[in-house]
Amino acid sequence: MTTYEPEPWRIKMVEPIRATTRAHRERAIRAAGWNPCLLRAEDVHIDLFTDSGTNAMSDRQWSALMRGDEAYAGARSFYVLEQAVREHYGYPHVVPVHQGRGGEAILSRCLLGPGTHVPGNMYFPTTRAHQELNGATFHDVIVDEAHDPVSEHPFKGDVDLDKLRALVEEVGADAIPCVSVAATVNMAGGQPISVGNLTAVCELAHAHGIPVFLDAARAVENAWFVKQREPGWGDKSVAEILHALCAPTDGAVVSAKKDGLANIGGWVGLRDADLADRVRAEALLYEGLHTYGGMAGRDMEAIAQGIAESVDEEHIRSRVAQVEYLGARLRNAGVPVVRPFGGHCVCVDAAATLPHIPRGQFPGQTLAAALYVVGGVRGVERGGVSAGRDPRTGDNRTPALELLRLAVPRRVYTRCHIDHVADSVIKVHQEREEITSGLVFSHEPPVLRFFQARFAPAGGESIFGRS
């Protein structure tokens, strides 16, 4: 029996959601080209497509919105955000951006160029896309265990220092403008990096004059895992551990739509004053003036308040426990899930669930479509479709992990909703033999194809043999 403590919040405002019939959902998924991303949200009952920007804001965040200073230049709300970032993440220079990828775009433009190389712990789609757009080649230097869905390694987000060393020797430190590490690693299933490993990565990189930038979108969840799992950190607060994670790094690019408990926004935090000036100059062209970066003043207020709430121990314990509860229910029912459960998501091993669907017919995408039809629950593929094509060869990448990701929005769903999700996934798993066909592209966009791709069942009319 999995324990589940009462959520540390109560509901002050409600948003109606509705269940639909299976016949309605079959029509909807066909109209969406079998891609749950192209569904109308109204046709989804429980939406676990992403935890990004789907957070419920607190009463304090809503009241903070009213304090938003919408001055074009030098708004008070900018200084409130700057102060929150300095206090909780420790970076002296703060540049607001409209969301995480805005920060990735401008930092990549500042640092990268043709012929450069960027090592990282696995990859994030938008991060790698901007690195490649600026001519760099991305290299995955994560530990091997990250690619193994059943490995119980407590820090599957750790960098393999030997792989990093080997890359530095192979291409030379001069060709590596930065190391790009994430905490937690989304594509591995929300897996954390340890403080010890991140510190060692920074020492190694700095010894070669290479700066390290942290993707800190989910660094609070990462800090929670450090507190639970890394020897020596159990007595420290999540706020202290967050500082320890950021301390050895040279900067961070952050989407405030994740741990920041906001619906939109982001920021870049930096230590080097010259680099901060260059980033501000780029921000001016692509985001907005350096004191708003594409956000309204009220957004910056909501993020500042969200940052303070994110490190509250009650909040983060409850948040991760809800994800763990979903994972435990699936695991106890025999559904193959990535272990250990991540901070923001549970990932179903689609290749293990649908071994009869060839990898070329995208078992993860197929399972995502099937879950929607059966239960009205929306997840997202994290496998071959998301991995895209190698920009040089044009070949499909075939990642080791072929997953269906169920990402849980923060403070949005109750245990009953989570039970409905679990029941639906278990039903799909029990009836997996009825899924007789995978999917092939009918429209394949050139970049970040998973968002807008359309598919058709490879074996005829439907992915279900009988429906």
Structure letter (DSSP) for residue 58: P
Q: Rounded to the nearest whole angstrom, what is the least distance from the CB of residue 257 to ligand PLP in the complex?
A: 5
For residue 379, which of 45, 15, 26 has the smallest C-alpha distance? 45
Task: Find the part of the chain contacting ligand PLP (CB under 6 A) among 124-132, 162-170, 189-197, 421-429.
Answer: 124-132
CB of 50 to ligand PLP, least distance (A): 8
Residue 12, both tokens: 């002050």
Site track 384-413 with ligand PLP (rule: CB under 6 A), x = hit:
------------------------------
Any contact of residue 182 with ligand PLP (CB under 6 A)? yes
Binding region for ligand PLP (CB under 6 A) out of 60-68, 122-130, 202-210, 378-386 = 122-130
> Applying CB under 6 A, which part among 14-22, 123-131, 333-341, 392-400 lies near ligand PLP?
123-131
* Interface size with ligand PLP, residues (CB under 6 A): 15
Q: Residue by residue, what is the 3-state secondary structure of 74-126?
A: CCHHHHHHHHHHHHHHCCCEEEEECCHHHHHHHHHHHHCCCCCEEEECCCCHH
Question: For residue 302, what are its two tokens?
Answer: 């909501």
Q: At closest approach, how far in Å is the CB of 283 from ligand PLP?
A: 14
Q: Lay out the site mask for ligand PLP across 45-84 (x = CB under 6 A, - = otherwise).
A: -------x--------------------------------
- Min separation Cβ 300 and ligand PLP, Å: 15
| 45, 93, 101, 315: which one binds ligand PLP (CB under 6 A) | 101
Q: Classify residue 192 by burial, with Cβ atoms within 10 Å: 0-12, 13-18, 19+.
A: buried
**Minimal distance, residue 245 CB to ligand PLP, in Å:** 14
**By three-state DSSP, how is residue 107 classified?**
helix
**Pick from 111, 201, 117: nearest CA to 167:** 117
Is 246 in contact with 252 (CB distance < 8 Å)? yes
Which of residues 335 and 345 has its CB atom nearest to ligand PLP in the complex?
345
Find the binder of ligand PLP among 255, 291, 424, 462 (CB under 6 A).
255
Q: Choose between 258 and 405: whose C-beta lies nearer to ligand PLP.
A: 258
The rounded distance, in Å, linking the Cα atoms of 432 and 308 is: 44
Q: Give the contact letters, 198-227, x = binds to ligand PLP (CB under 6 A), - = no.
A: -----------------x-x----------
H or E stretch at 253: strand 251-255
Give ∠ CA 179-182-186 in degrees, rounded to 5: 140
Helices (H), 208-272: 219-229, 238-246
Q: Which residues contact 144 (CB under 8 A, 6 or more apart)?
A: 160
Extract the tokens encoding 365: 């995408």
At its nearest, how many Å lie between ligand PLP and the CB of residue 329?
25
**Residue 205 or residue 217: which is nearer to ligand PLP going by CB?**
217
Query: What's the min distance (Å) between Cβ of 125 and ligand PLP?
Result: 8
The least distance separating ligand PLP from the CB of residue 80, rounded to whole angstroms, comes to 20
Residue 258 in the binding site for ligand PLP (CB under 6 A) = yes
Q: Which residue's entry shows tokens 């043999």?
A: 465
Q: 317-330: b or e for each residue (b if 16 or more CB lie within 10 Å)? A: bbbbebbbbbbbbb
CA distances from 404 to 121, 333, 379, 414, 445 (A): 20, 17, 7, 21, 21
Using CB under 6 A, pick the residue from 34, 124, 225, 362 that binds ligand PLP.
Answer: 124
| 123 lies in the binding site for ligand PLP (CB under 6 A) | no
Q: Which is nearer to ligand PLP, 95 or 439 (CB)?
A: 95
- H or E element in which residue 372 lies: helix 363-375
CB-based contacts of 436, cutoff 8 Å, min separation 6: 356, 459, 463, 464, 465
In three-state secondary structure terms, 140 is strand
- Token digits of residue 147: 């690619």
Instruction: Supply the minimum distance, in Å, between the C-beta of residue 459 and ligand PLP.
Output: 34
Q: Which residues pair with 451 in a beta bridge?
A: none
Q: Does 287 bind ligand PLP (CB under 6 A)?
A: no
Measured at CB, which residue is nearest to ligand PLP? Answer: 100
Q: Which is nearer to ligand PLP, 52 or 365 (CB)?
A: 52
Tokens of 432: 């997996």
Per CB under 6 A, residues contacting ligand PLP are 52, 99-101, 124, 126-127, 182, 186, 215, 217, 255, 257-258, 266
